[in-house]
Chain A
C-alpha cells in the first residue's frame, strides 16, 4: 500500500523567512502533485512534477522531485501572510488515471 508522509504537520513561521516542507512516499512513482487548501475550500493545484529532478517555481514557492529518494520538497522563500494555508502532496501509481494518495498535509501559518 502506497504511503505518503509529510513533515512537518504544522509550521508557524514569520514573514520574510524561508522554509521547506518535505513529502516522502513509499513506492516508485514519477508523478507527484502539490495542492493548496484554504480553510473550508477545495484543493488548488500548485505543481505537477513528472520526472526525477523536476523543479518548478511559481512566485515564492518552488517544488522539486527526487524519485530515487522518493522525496519531494516544497520550498517557501520570504514567506508572506497570503501563503497561510494547508499544503498537501499527492502521488499516483504511475500508471495513468490512477487514484491519488495524499499526504497528511502541512498547515502553514505565516505570522506578521
Chain B
C-alpha cells in the first residue's frame, strides 16, 4: 500500500542552523501539507502546497520557513535559522481528494 515517507526520522540541530526536512508524498497525490506537533500538544497546520505554489499558510509559517518541490517526488520544508521553540514533530501529509495521509514524522530537536 502506498505511503508517505519522511527523512530523517530524528534531526538534532543547534539554534541558528538551517534544517531541511524531506518528504515523499504518495505518487498520484497533488496536494501536500506540513503540520507540526509540539510534544504533548495538538497537531498544528503549517502550510499547504498545490501546483508548485503555497495554497495557504498559518501564522506559524513565517519568513524562516519555506517549502519546495524540487523534483517530481520530494517535498521539503526548510527552516532557515532554527529557534528552540521549533523543536517539535513535523508531519508531512498528502491527498488526492480530501482524506490526508500522514508520514511517520521527523522529530526536530533544537539545542
Question: In the complex, are the beta carbons of B91 and A103 less than 8 A apart?
Answer: no
Contacts of B98 in A (CB 8 A): 31, 48, 92, 96-97
Considering only CB atoms, which chain A residue lies closest to B100 in the complex? A100
Question: In the complex, are the beta carbons of B97 and A96 less than 8 A apart?
Answer: yes
Segment touching B, from A14-22, A37-45, A52-60, A67-75: A37-45
Question: In the complex, are the beta carbons of B104 and A41 less than 8 A apart?
Answer: yes
Q: Is the interface of A mostly helix, strand, loop or mixed?
A: loop
Contacts of B91 in A (CB 8 A): 42-43
Considering only CB atoms, which chain A residue lies closest to B104 in the complex? A42
Instruction: Determine if A7 is an interface residue (Cβ-Cβ < 8 Å).
Output: no
Contact A99 B48, CB 8 Å, known A88-B43, A104-B42, A105-B42: yes
Contacts of A90 in B (CB 8 A): 43
Instruction: Determine if A102 is an interface residue (Cβ-Cβ < 8 Å).
Output: yes
Rounded to whole Å, the gap between the CB of A14 and the closest CB of chain B is 24
Contacts of A99 in B (CB 8 A): 33, 45, 48, 56, 58
Instruction: Determine if B25 is an interface residue (Cβ-Cβ < 8 Å).
Output: no
Q: How large is the interface on B (under 10, 10 to 19, 20 to 34, 35 or more residues)?
A: 20 to 34
Contact string against B for A residues 84-107, beta-carbon threshold 8 Å, 1 for contact and 0 otherwise: 000010101000111111111100
Contacts of A33 in B (CB 8 A): 99-100
Question: In the complex, are the beta carbons of B99 and A48 less than 8 A apart?
Answer: yes
Question: In the complex, are the beta carbons of A102 and B102 less than 8 A apart?
Answer: no
Rounded to whole Å, the gap between the CB of A62 and the closest CB of chain B is 19
Rounded to whole Å, the gap between the CB of B46 and the closest CB of chain A is 9
Contacts of B50 in A (CB 8 A): 97
Contacts of B99 in A (CB 8 A): 33, 45, 48
Rounded to whole Å, the gap between the CB of A73 and the closest CB of chain B is 19
Question: In the complex, are the beta carbons of B44 and A102 less than 8 A apart?
Answer: yes
- The residues of A with any CB-CB pair to B shorter than 8 Å are 31, 33, 35, 40-43, 45, 48, 88, 90, 92, 96-105
Query: Besides the contacts A41-B105, A42-B102, A42-B105, what 11 more A-B pairs have beta carbons closer than 8 Å?
Result: A41-B104, A45-B99, A92-B98, A96-B98, A97-B31, A99-B45, A100-B43, A100-B45, A100-B100, A102-B43, A105-B42
